[in-house]
Amino acid sequence: IVVAVDHVGIAVADLDAAIEWYASTFGLVMTHTETNEEQGVREAMLSAPGDAGAAVQLLAPLRDDSAIAKFLDRNGPGVQQLAYRVADVDASCAALREKGMRLLYDEPRRGTAGSRINFVHPKDAGGVLVELVEPAAAGGAEH
Ligand code: V0V
């Protein structure tokens, strides 16, 4: 089902301050940033220079009623999700539903850079909010 670990998502209150902190502390560089209104987040993807492996995703809330705002209220900043890359998010969701897991959305929604995403409920995944990410097709059909 899983092709790779895509990213680890970390909830932060202040995106710009967090980007600066990860750069000055760990030398991570920002490779992408965007606002996702539907998810209620401003986000940034960070990597070690030249590393094409799993990324760190910083997630800051756009609204008080967003998932990230609720997470920050409850836990403070910290790891909010683990995202697995999949080749076909519809097929992966079907396979996981077959195993009795609850997917949060009936149909995948829009994620980073035109990807298609869904989430496994943390109570069905060992206490981890698991995101499934099908990247946008190469060539950028989504853009
Ligand atoms: C809640 N719980 C968590 C959790 N959030 N456990 C682990 N990790 C988390 N992030 C626990 C919580 O402590 C409760 O445990 C239980 O789950 C149910 O909590 P709830 O109050 O019923 O639910 P909420 O309101 O806390 O919502 C949790 C869910 C929500 C996961 C349903 O955060 C959600 O819809 N997330 C999906 C969307 C999202 O996270 N978007 C932001 C990233 P107890 O107390 O009952 O034991 S956007 C993104 O990643 C993008 C755009 C991308 O990557 O492309």
Averages of pLDDT over each 10 residues, the chain, 143 residues: 97 98 98 98 98 97 98 98 98 98 98 98 98 88 48
CB atoms near residue 143 (< 10 Å): 7
For 24, the enclosing helix (H) or strand (E) is helix 15-26
22 assigned to some structural domain: yes
Output the domain CATH number for residue 117. Answer: 3.10.180.10
Tokens 């401003």 belong to 42
Q: Is 135 in the pocket of ligand 1 (CB under 6 A)?
A: no
pLDDT of residue 143: 45
pLDDT of residue 31: 97
State the residue range of the domain holding 20: 4-134
Q: Is 6 in the pocket of ligand 1 (CB under 6 A)?
A: no
Q: Ligand 1 pocket check: which of 62, 65, 71 to mutate, most ligand atoms within 8 Å of Cβ? A: 71
> Looking at the predicted complex, does its ipTM rise above 0.90?
yes
pLDDT of residue 87: 97
Domain count, the chain: 1
107 assigned to some structural domain: yes
pLDDT of residue 138: 78
Show the beta-strand stretches assigned E in 1-143. Answer: 4-11, 29-36, 41-47, 55-61, 78-85, 109-110, 116-120, 130-134
142 assigned to some structural domain: no
68 assigned to some structural domain: yes
pLDDT of residue 140: 53
139 assigned to some structural domain: no
